[in-house]
Amino acid sequence: MTDPTSTMPPEQPAVPPASPQPSLPLVVEAQPELAAPQPPRRRRMYLLVGAAVVAVFLAAGAAIALANRPSPLEVAREKCGAASDDYAKLGDDGATLTLHSVGKESSGLSFDQLQCYWSELEMPDSVRAEVEATRALDGRQSGEWEGIHASWSYHPDSGVQMVFTLAD
């Protein structure tokens, strides 16, 4: 009989001894570290493309607005007016303004109208003085200021003939 106080394992089924296997090194796969969440690449790409499209539209709008804005010569012509297109003629898509004043033998802009143009175009006092002092014998004179070139001649019979040109 068996002693109830002895610890004997119960009978277990017999397991054939396993054939010895060569010892392999234990390989442990590394767990990837958790990185901080980043916005998906597609989302960043869409944001960049969207920003580029907005920039192109803003640039195009600014270019159109600048192209449609009247030149200083056109603004002066509108404000100061002329009795006839022959007396204040715009040319070169608003980049040239030709003025003809009244003379002894010709009609044209009055001296007050000339002064309106000079004020609107912010002609410096030095150039005004040169225009007012020009004699028929002086030939064609010229002056420049802040992006505007002016040339003029004077004869008592035909008055002052002036050409304003916007600098490039």
Report yes or no on 141 lying in a domain.
yes
- 16: in domain: no
pLDDT surpassing 70 at residue 34: no
**What are the C-alpha distances in Å from 57 to residues 33, 45, 63, 67, 70?**
43, 18, 10, 15, 22
pLDDT for residue 143 is more than 80: yes
1 has pLDDT over 60: no
Does residue 76 fall inside a structural domain?
yes
Supply the mean pLDDT for the chain.
83
In a domain, 152, yes or no: yes
On whether the pTM is more than 0.85, the answer is: no
The whole-angstrom separation of Cα 152 and Cα 148 is 13
Residue 86 lies in a domain: yes
CB 164 within 8 A of CB 71: no
Can you tell me the distance from the alpha carbon of 158 to that of 153, in angstroms, rounded to the nearest whole number? 10
Give the domain range for residue 98. Answer: 72-166
* pLDDT tens per residue across span 49-103: 888 888 888 887 777 766 678 899 999 999 998 767 789 999 999 999 999 999 9
For residue 61, is it within any domain?
A: no
